[in-house]
Chain A
Amino acid sequence: MSMTIHVDIVSAEGEIFSGLVEMVYAPGEMGELGIAPRHAPLLTRLKAGDVRLDLGDGKEMQHYYVSGGMLEVQPHIVTVLADTAVRAADLDEAAARKARQRAEEHLRDAESQIDTAKAQAELAETAAQLRAIDRLRKTKR
């Protein structure tokens, strides 16, 4: 049995791979990285590309596409924090602008200061409705 290193590929939306491999290849921001067991601790951003895992024993290489993310290396464990979305500053900015616009559209005629009295009244009303339903159910039984 040759030396192995534990690899976790995780994204915010789920775990993608977890297991022992002989070698990890990843698309680092500064260039392609090959990580063997006992690699020095390393932290880098990843570019979009393939993360390849060499499982050893003549098994086929496993490929996982990542659209970017982070790579953390410690001597016996490698963690790929993969992005699930394509990230770029201008794309993010566009998304932010859209979210802002939507808020403005909806609130064009609303007050900018929260009217706590009104807010409380509305909550009380809904709560009372729910309570009434509850009571109705109980008395029937």
Chain B
Amino acid sequence: MAGAKEVRTQIASIKNTQKITSAMEMVAASKMRRAQDRQAATEPYTRKMLHVIHHLAHAHPEYESAFMRKREVKNIGYIVVSSDRGLCGGLNNNLFRKLLKEIVEHQENGIGIKFCTIGRKAMGYFKRTGGSVLAEISDIGDTPHIEELIGAVKVMLDAYRRGEVDQVCLATNKFINTMTQDPRIYQLVPIHGEADTKLKHHWDYIYEPDARDVLEDLMARYIEAGVYQGVVENAACEQSARMVAMKAASDNAGDLIDELQLIYNKARQTAITQEISEIVGGAAAISG
């Protein structure tokens, strides 16, 4: 019964794998829900902030911040958000593909590209393929905090202030629903301010200490919050992509087990039949 025994161990090992993948699926599902909540929680902050920034920019056009001024684009900085871990289907891959398409276009126009990576997958990718990476952050875990992102964002913003990049974009995945994540590239800096027509009437804040300082501070925080939002959304995408991938893996394992079970049963049946015929044959030989 050698064949049957082998099949049995194979089944046992696949069953173990299935246990792991279905556990991962469930873990991802619960993490996804939490990540979505976190994402929703960032919304009021950025909305409020943008509101204040626009108001400020309108009330004080003379303080036009560098972060709002458009300039000729010679270099672009990309903040690329990826996951730390794999087993999440084509999530990172799709994002990199979209990004690469843009990069190729920019390179044709002679625009320089710089990166700042968040998450191990992006780092690994640019490590293999080359690319000027100014800063990297990884191991942010399931609960990202703004604290961990400040450094990387600052590197990009400093580069922007010094004129090393003329535009900063954020590449991240947008959460559409559990099944769909859409890679997106947003422009972070310069902040595109839309003319707010409601601000026709004149009123202004009292500033402490002064408008320029407050505005600069607000801008930096707004951009950080934008990156944070991207990271949190990407985390939600990662979990949902993992959930789907793990569900597929569990289903596959189930199919495999069914097939192997059939093979095992056949092998077992053959062995029994053979034994019986041997016994019958032996008995016949003795009595005959």
Contact = CB atoms under 8 A, between A and B. Distances in A.
A12 B45 contact: yes
15 contacts: A12-B42, A13-B42, A13-B146, A41-B205, A42-B205, A44-B209, A95-B150, A100-B134, A103-B135, A107-B127, A113-B132, A116-B104, A116-B129, A119-B96, A130-B90
Name A's interface SS: mixed
A98 to B, nearest CB: 6
B33 interface: no
B125 interface: yes
Nearest to A105: B136
B138 to A, nearest CB: 8
Interface size class of chain B, counting residues whose CB lies under 8 Å from the partner chain = 35 or more
B201 interface: no
**Nearest 6 A-B pairs (CB), nearest first?**
A95-B151, A111-B130, A14-B41, A99-B135, A114-B131, A44-B208
Interface in B219-276: 221, 224-225, 228-229, 248, 251-252, 255
A22 B132 CA distance: 54
B14 interface: no
B207 A122 contact: no
Given A70-B221, A93-B154, A13 B205 contact: no
Contact of B130 (A15, A81, A118, A130): A118
Contact of A96 (B93, B129, B155): B155
A112 B225 CA distance: 29
Given A92-B151, A96-B154, A119-B100, A45 B208 contact: yes
A133 B93 CA distance: 15
Contacts of A8: 44, 48
Interface stretch (B24-32, B173-181, B189-197, B210-218): B210-218
Interface residues of A, number: 56
Contact of B136 (A72, A99, A122): A99
Contacts of B252: 137
A98 B151 contact: yes
A17 to B, nearest CB: 12
Given A10-B48, A120-B100, A126 B225 contact: no
B206 interface: yes
Nearest to B144: A13
A15 B42 CA distance: 8
B63 interface: no
B93 A107 contact: no
A103 B133 contact: yes
Interface in B111-141: 113, 116-117, 123, 125-138
A103 B208 contact: no
Interface in B141-166: 145-147, 150-152, 154-155, 158
B52 interface: yes
Contacts of A110: 126-128, 130-131
Given A70-B217, A70-B218, 13 more contacts: A12-B45, A29-B208, A41-B206, A43-B207, A72-B48, A85-B150, A99-B152, A99-B154, A102-B137, A103-B116, A122-B128, A126-B90, A130-B89
B49 interface: yes
A114 B136 contact: no
